[in-house]
Amino acid sequence: MTFKKASILLKALVPALIIGLALCGCATSEEEKDSRPKDQVTVGFSQIGAESDWRIASTESMQSTLTASAGYNLLFKDGQQKQENQLLAMREFIDQAVDYIILDPITETGWDATLREAYDAGIPVIIMDRRVDTFDDSVYTVWAGSDFLLEGKRACKWLRTYLKSISFSGDVNIIHIKGTTNSSAQLGRTKALKSAAKKYGWNILMSEDGDFVQAKGREIMENALATYGDDINVVYCENDSEAIGAIEAIEQSGRRVGSDISGGEIMILSFDATRQGLLLTLNGKISVNTECNPEYGPVCDEIIGKLKDGLEVPHEMFMEESQFSAITDIKEIKVGDEIYPVTMVDRELIDARSY
């Protein structure tokens, strides 16, 4: 076909294409929005994945709170641990002209353009759990999450207090199983460990990304045991799933987990305090478990309620968190000028835990 013929054909086809598109029922985002019940709030939720019990609990919290009977139309997208999936989900939500977007960002950077698009489309974005590192913070409405650095400081201060309480004078040799690299939870918990290690002279023998996943926690611990063997006396796991994997590897190797590091046990420190994690804390396999609260459903419901009513919401909101142990000697720890209680874990507390 000559260029001239092709261009005549194209000219003839373009109007037909436009009419076709108009007739095919492809609704614009505004039409889509208008077709929804007026009293229903449409929320697009871009979740990271299902890598841990914590993550599953946070999804459940959202799905059981933002229900149809509570007036919500919740559009849920599982990012399967990939930022590009989360960005795609955000774009879809913007195209669908949802009323609100909730984003739990896998890592901190890379969100500027998409958040700006949501902002320009007039869709308020609630960032939950992990943070975003943006050029301009006003592109999102509110961030609600944990103080991950404080969580890490509490864990390290507990360890320091414990070592003093048993007058431990040997080397503290730590295997550090990190969470997903560049996620807020990893950055905060890792920063706390590194500065405590420097301050107290602890050795970090190995530091590897376990992606918050049990299988990777296990694999890293197997490698650590093969390389450092009996030198290891502490494992700092950045979540319960990794801790479960590490415990499996240690027990498989014939060593024992527990707080008696002078007697050859390997001490496990963990974060999240899920039901599984607390059970391991109760039986002494995890020595201290610093809580990270996954119950974002009620928090987001409250934020959306306020925004709907035109009320102010703070730009940052922190979750309430505790710390658990079965070692009765340490009832509290001090971080900076603040005293934090350490809650003794028991059966009743675990039974009351919904995740």
Residues near ligand GYE (CB under 6 A): 51-52, 54-55, 129-130, 183, 185, 212, 239, 241, 271-272, 292
> For ligand GYE, which is the closer residue by CB, 216 or 285?
216
Helix (H) / strand (E) element for 209: namely strand 203-209
Query: What CA–CA distance (Å, rounded) separates 121 from 188?
Result: 32
How far apart are CB 265 and ligand GYE at their closest, in Å? 24
Judged by beta carbon, residue 238 or residue 265, the one nearer ligand GYE is: 238
Using alpha carbons, list the distances in angstroms from residue 41 to 28, 99, 116, 296: 18, 6, 22, 17
Query: What span, in angstroms and rounded, lies between the C-alpha atoms of 161 and 27?
Result: 62
Q: Which is nearer to ligand GYE, 44 or 294 (CB)?
A: 294
Q: Considering the complex, what minimum distance in angstroms separates the CB of residue 103 from ligand GYE?
A: 12
Closest CB to ligand GYE among 45 and 271? 271
In whole angstroms, how close is the CB of 10 to ligand GYE at the nearest point?
51
CA distances 246 to 137, 221, 252, 253, 267, Å, are 38, 5, 10, 11, 11
What is the length of the chain?
Answer: 355
CA angle 37, 43, 45 (to 5 degrees): 155
Closest CB to ligand GYE among residues 99, 242: 242
For ligand GYE, which is the closer residue by CB, 51 or 301? 51
Pairing of strands 288-291, 323-325: antiparallel
Q: How far is CA 125 from the centre of its chain?
A: 17
Cα 200 from Cα 236, distance rounded (Å): 15
Residue 85: both structure tokens together: 């999936």
Nearest to 228 by CA among 247, 211, 199, 250: 250
At closest approach, how far in Å is the CB of 177 from ligand GYE?
A: 12
Minimum CB distance to ligand GYE, residue 125 (Å): 17
Sheet holding 173-178, edge to edge: 203-209, 173-178, 234-237, 267-272, 288-291, 323-325, 343-344
Nearer CB in complex with ligand GYE: 99/272: 272
Shortest distance, CB of residue 146 to ligand GYE, whole angstroms? 6
CB of residue 34 to ligand GYE, shortest distance in Å: 36
Nearer to ligand GYE, 140 or 212 (CB): 212
Give the shortest CB-214-to-ligand GYE separation in angstroms.
10
* Closer by beta carbon to ligand GYE, 49 or else 97: 49
C-alpha 13, offset from chain centre: 50
Smallest distance, Å, CB 311 to ligand GYE?
27
Question: Alpha helix (H) ranges present in 201-264?
Answer: 214-228, 240-252
Amino acid 201 reads G
Handedness of CA 207, 213, 214, 219 (dihedral sign): negative
